[in-house]
C-alpha cells in the first residue's frame, strides 16, 4: 500500500497508508494525524481538513474544486495548491505524496 | 497519571473522539468505551439526510473503522451503564456486572424528547436519534404514503426534505408561529417555509398536536382546534433531552446538562464529560450553554482527553452548526442569542443563496449562511477572533 506523509506546521512528519475508498481526511483521522479535525465528517462544510499539497504533486492530485474554493478563499493560510482533504478520494497512484498542514485549521 | 483504566460511557461522537484523543495525548493504560447501541461509533448528522434517503450505509457512517480501535487498543463494549459508584470507582452494568475505572468520561449525549400526548406510543410514531430509528422510518416510508412531521426545527425540516425526496406526501406541524423559531430570524424562517412549500410540503405553523389516533397503528393527528390530519407515519422532532440521569444519581452537579468547567471536568475531578450532555459556562456568552453540535462535542472530547492526561487545554472554539435540506446547505456560525439587528446579504424572499448576519451593539455575533460558504468562513473567523467589521463589509464578502 502506498504511503502519504503529512507534515505539521512545525515540520513534524506523520506517515499513513493510502487506503483506497477513503478520503485523504479519513486517512488522516484513521491514523490520528494531529492537525486534521474533519469536524463535519467530510461534507466540505467546516474547512478543518485543510492541507497544502506539495506543488510537485499538484498535477497528479488536482486543484481545489468550486465547493472547496468557497471555503478556502477566506483562509489567510491558503496557498495555490490548498485542498480540503475530505474532497480528495485516495488513489494508489499517490504513493509518496507529501502534504503540508496549516498552522491553524478554521 | 496516564496509567490505569480510562472508561468512556457513551459510544457517541464525543466518546469516540475522546478515546482516540486519549491515545493521541499519551494515555498508556486501558481505554474502554461502553455504548448501548450495537454498532461502531457512527456519525449522527447524516441520519436525517443521506441515511434516511438510503444514500449511505451504516458502515459508511462509522466515524472510524473497527481496525482503528483494535490498533489503538481501544476496547468497545456493547452494554448499558446503570449507575456510577464513585467511592468504589466503578460503573454498574444492566446485566449486573461492573467495570472499574481510574478516570471516567461521560459522553452520554441526549435522547429524543417524547411527545407528551395520548397515542404517542402507537406503532408508526417515530423519533429520529439513532440508526435503528431511521431504519424503522425507512421501512414505513413508501412513496405516496402520508407522513406528518411534528416539529419544525432542523431535524423536522431535514426529515421533511428527505421524505419528500422519497416521494411521500409530507406535512410539517410547528407549534410556534414560524419554523426554526428558537434559532433563526423571521426572515430565515420565512425562507425555509417557502422552500418546503415550493417542494410540495405542507407547512402548518401555530399547529398544536393534541393527540395521535389509530387502533393498531397511527392513523391521524388531531390538532387543538379540532382539525384531523390523516397519517401513515408520524415523525416527532421536538428536540432532545440530555442524558444526565447517571451523573445526577452519582451526585455530580447537573444544570440542564452535566456541569463542566473549561477543562471539561465535572464537579468530580476524576470524571470529565463531553458532548450534548454537558452544560458549559462559556466566557464568550457569559452563561451556561448546552450545545447540540458535533464540532463542539469533538472539541470538548479533545479537551477532556488532554485533561485526563494531565495536559492543559481549554474549551474555546466558536460553536457552529450545519443543516442540509434539498440541495441547500445552511452553515451557522455562532449563537445569535441577544441580537438586536440583522444585516441581510442577498434577498431570502427570492434568492437561493443569502446570509443573515446577526449583530449585537454593532458587533457581529452570528451568521446563518445559505449556500454561502464564503460568508460562513468569513463569519466564523471574524466572530471567533472578535474582530470588528462594518455593515458594508459584511455585504461585500460574497462578492470579494
Whole-angstrom distance between the N-terminal and C-terminal Cα of chain A? 31
**Residues of B30-52 as b/e, b for ≥16 C-beta within 10 angstroms?**
bbbbbbbeebbbbbbbbbbbbbb
pTM of the model: 0.94
Residues in a beta bridge with B34? B9, B77
The partner residue sitting opposite A41, judged by closest CB among B23, B43, B376, is: B43
- Give the CATH H-level superfamily of domain B327-396: FAD/NAD-linked reductase, C-terminal dimerisation domain (3.30.390.30)
Chain B residues touching A105 at Cβ < 8 A:
none
The partner residue sitting opposite A41, judged by closest CB among B23, B45, B65, is: B45
> How many whole angstroms separate alpha carbon B104 and alpha carbon B18?
11
Rounded to 5°, the CA angle B107-B110-B111 comes to 140
Contact A39 B63 (CB under 8 A): no
The partner residue sitting opposite A30, judged by closest CB among B43, B64, B331, is: B64
Contact A74 B397 (CB under 8 A): yes
CATH assignment of A3-100? 3.10.20.30
Q: What is the pLDDT of chain A when averaged over all its residues? A: 92
Average pLDDT over residues A16-22: 92
Residue of B nearest to A105 (CA): B381
Chain B residues touching A44 at Cβ < 8 A:
373
- Complex-level ipTM: 0.86
For residue A93, what pLDDT is reported? 94
pLDDT band for A73, please (50, 70, 90 cuts): confident
Q: Tell me where in chain B the CATH 3.50.50.60 domain(s) lie.
A: 5-111+241-308, 125-236
The residue among A21 and B306 whose pLDDT is bigger is B306
Residue of A nearest to B372 (CA): A70
The C-alpha cell that represents B369 in the structure block: 449562511
For residue B1, what pLDDT is reported? 63
> How many whole angstroms separate alpha carbon A50 and alpha carbon A105?
7
Contact A106 B381 (CB under 8 A): yes
Q: Write down the domain spans for chain A.
A: 3-100
Say whether domain B5-111+241-308 belongs to CATH 3.40.190.10.
no
Chain A residues touching B322 at Cβ < 8 A:
40, 43, 45-46
Q: Please count the CA atoms within 13 angstroms of the CA of B217 that sit on its side-chain side.
A: 9
Chain A residues touching B65 at Cβ < 8 A:
30
Tell me how crowded residue B95 is: count the other CB atoms within 10 A of its CB.
9
Residues of B with CB under 8 A from a CB of A: 20, 23-24, 43, 45-46, 63-65, 68, 72, 294-295, 298, 320, 322, 324, 329, 331, 373-374, 376-378, 380-381, 397
Sign of CA dihedral A85, A89, A90, A91: negative
Burial environment of residue B390 by CB neighbours within 10 A (0 to 12, 13 to 18, 19 or more) = exposed
Contact B294 A75 (CB under 8 A): no
The structural architecture, per CATH, of the domain B125-236 is: 3-Layer(bba) Sandwich (3.50)
Helix axes B186-198, B154-165, angle to 10 degrees: 20
Average pLDDT over residues A50-78: 92
> How many whole angstroms separate alpha carbon B203 and alpha carbon B157?
10
For residue A1, what pLDDT is reported? 85
Q: Does A12 touch chain B (CB under 8 A)?
A: no
Could you read off the pLDDT tens digit of each residue along chain B, which spans 400 residues? 678 999 999 999 999 999 999 999 999 999 999 999 999 999 999 999 889 999 889 988 999 989 999 999 999 999 999 999 999 999 999 999 999 999 999 999 999 999 999 999 999 999 999 999 999 999 999 999 999 999 999 999 999 999 999 999 999 999 999 999 999 999 999 999 999 999 999 999 999 999 999 999 999 999 999 999 999 999 999 999 999 999 999 999 999 999 999 999 999 999 999 999 999 999 999 999 999 999 999 999 999 999 999 999 999 999 999 999 998 999 999 999 999 999 999 999 999 999 999 999 999 999 999 999 999 999 999 999 999 999 999 998 877 6
pLDDT band for A42, please (50, 70, 90 cuts): confident
Helix axes B13-24, B294-308, angle to 10 degrees: 40
Contact B23 A29 (CB under 8 A): no
Annotate chain B with three-state secondary structure. CCCCEEEEECCCHHHHHHHHHHHHCCCCCEEEEEECCCCCCECCHHHHCCCCCCCCCHHHHECCCHHHHHHCCEEEEECCEEEEECCCCEEEECCCCEEECCEEEECCCEEECCCCCCCCCCCCEEECCCHHHHHHHHHHCCCCCEEEEECCCHHHHHHHHHHHHCCCEEEEECCCCCCCCCCCCHHHHHHHHHHHHHCCCEEECCCCEEEEECCCCCCEEEECCCCEEECCEEEECCCEEECCHHHHHCCCCEECEEEECCCCECCCCCEEECCCCEEEEECCCCEEECCCCHHHHHHHHHHHHHHHCCCCCCCCCCCEEEEEECCEEEEEECCCCCCCEEEEECCCCCCCCEEEEEEECCEEEEEEEECCHHHHHHHHHHHHCCCCCCHHHHHHCCCC
Give me the phi and psi of B238, to 5 degrees please: -115, 35
Contact B298 A70 (CB under 8 A): no
Contact A75 B377 (CB under 8 A): yes
Residue that has been written with the C-alpha cell 467589521 in this structure = B389
Q: Is A60 helix (H, G, I), strand (E, B) or coil?
A: helix
Q: Chain B closest CA to A11's CA: distance in Å?
A: 18
Chain B residues touching A43 at Cβ < 8 A:
322, 324, 329
The partner residue sitting opposite B374, judged by closest CB among A34, A39, A73, is: A73
Query: How many Cβ pairs closer than 8 A exist between chain A and B?
Result: 56
Q: Tell me where in chain B the CATH 3.30.390.30 domain(s) lie.
A: 327-396
> How many whole angstroms separate alpha carbon B146 and alpha carbon B201?
11
> How many whole angstroms separate alpha carbon A38 and alpha carbon B305?
18
Rounded to the nearest angstrom, the gap between the alpha carbon of residue A26 and the centroid of all alpha carbons in its chain is 10
Amino acid at each position: 500500500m502506498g504511503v502519504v506523509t503529512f507534515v505539521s506546521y512545525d515540520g513534524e512528519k506523520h506517515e499513513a497508508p493510502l487506503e483506497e475508498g477513503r478520503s485523504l481526511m479519513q486517512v488522516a483521522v484513521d491514523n490520528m494525524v494531529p492537525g486534521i479535525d474533519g469536524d463535519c465528517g467530510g461534507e466540505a462544510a467546516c474547512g478543518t481538513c485543510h492541507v497544502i499539497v506539495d506543488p510537485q504533486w499538484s498535477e497528479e492530485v488536482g486543484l481545489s474544486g468550486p465547493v472547496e474554493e468557497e471555503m478556502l478563499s477566506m483562509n489567510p493560510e491558503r496557498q495555490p495548491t490548498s485542498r480540503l482533504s475530505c474532497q480528495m478520494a485516495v488513489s494508489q497512484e499517490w504513493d509518496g505524496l507529501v502534504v503540508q498542514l496549516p498552522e491553524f485549521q478554521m | 497519571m496516564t496509567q490505569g483504566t480510562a472508561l468512556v460511557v457513551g459510544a457517541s461522537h464525543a466518546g469516540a473522539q475522546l478515546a482516540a484523543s486519549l491515545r493521541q495525548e499519551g494515555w498508556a493504560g486501558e481505554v474502554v468505551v461502553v455504548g448501548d447501541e450495537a454498532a461502531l461509533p457512527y456519525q449522527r448528522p447524516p441520519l436525517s439526510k443521506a441515511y434516511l434517503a438510503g444514500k449511505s450505509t451504516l458502515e459508511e457512517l462509522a466515524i472510524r473503522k473497527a481496525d482503528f480501535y483494535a490498533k489503538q487498543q481501544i476496547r468497545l463494549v456493547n452494554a448499558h451503564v446503570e449507575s456510577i459508584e464513585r467511592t468504589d470507582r466503578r460503573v454498574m452494568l444492566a446485566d449486573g456486572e461492573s467495570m472499574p475505572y481510574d478516570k471516567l468520561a461521560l459522553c452520554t449525549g441526549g435522547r429524543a424528547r417524547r411527545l407528551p400526548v395520548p397515542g404517542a406510543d402507537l406503532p408508526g410514531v417515530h423519533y429520529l436519534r439513532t440508526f435503528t430509528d431511521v431504519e424503522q422510518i425507512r421501512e414505513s416510508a413508501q412513496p405516496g404514503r402520508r407522513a406528518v412531521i411534528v416539529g419544525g426545527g432542523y431535524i423536522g425540516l431535514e426529515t421533511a426534505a428527505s421524505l419528500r425526496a422519497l416521494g411521500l406526501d409530507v406535512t410539517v406541524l410547528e407549534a410556534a408561529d414560524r419554523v426554526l423559531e428558537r434559532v433563526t430570524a423571521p426572515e430565515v424562517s420565512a425562507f425555509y417555509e417557502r422552500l418546503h412549500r415550493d417542494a410540495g410540503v405542507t407547512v402548518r405553523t401555530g399547529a398544536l398536536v393534541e393527540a395521535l389516533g389509530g387502533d393498531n397503528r397511527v392513523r391521524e393527528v388531531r390538532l387543538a382546534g379540532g382539525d384531523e390530519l390523516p397519517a401513515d407515519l408520524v415523525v416527532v422532532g421536538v428536540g432532545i433531552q440530555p442524558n444526565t440521569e447517571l451523573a445526577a444519581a452519582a451526585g455530580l452537579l447537573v444544570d440542564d446538562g452535566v456541569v463542566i468547567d473549561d477543562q471539561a471536568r465535572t464537579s468530580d475531578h476524576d470524571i470529565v464529560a463531553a458532548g450534548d450532555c454537558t452544560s458549559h459556562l462559556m466566557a464568550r456568552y457569559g452563561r451556561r450553554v448546552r450545545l447540540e453540535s458535533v464540532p463542539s462535542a469533538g472539541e470538548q472530547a479533545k479537551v477532556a482527553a488532554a485533561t485526563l492526561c494531565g495536559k492543559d487545554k481549554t474549551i474555546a472554539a466558536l460553536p457552529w452548526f450545519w443543516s442540509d435540506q434539498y440541495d441547500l446547505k445552511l452553515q451557522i456560525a455562532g449563537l445569535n442569542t441577544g441580537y438586536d439587528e440583522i444585516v441581510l446579504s442577498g434577498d431570502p424572499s427570492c434568492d437561493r443563496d443569502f446570509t443573515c448576519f446577526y449583530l449585537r451593539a454593532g458587533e457581529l455575533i452570528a451568521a446563518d449562511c445559505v449556500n454561502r460558504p464564503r460568508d460562513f468562513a468569513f463569519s466564523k473567523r471574524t466572530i471567533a477572533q472578535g474582530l470588528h467589521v462594518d455593515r458594508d463589509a459584511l455585504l461585500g464578502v460574497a462578492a470579494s
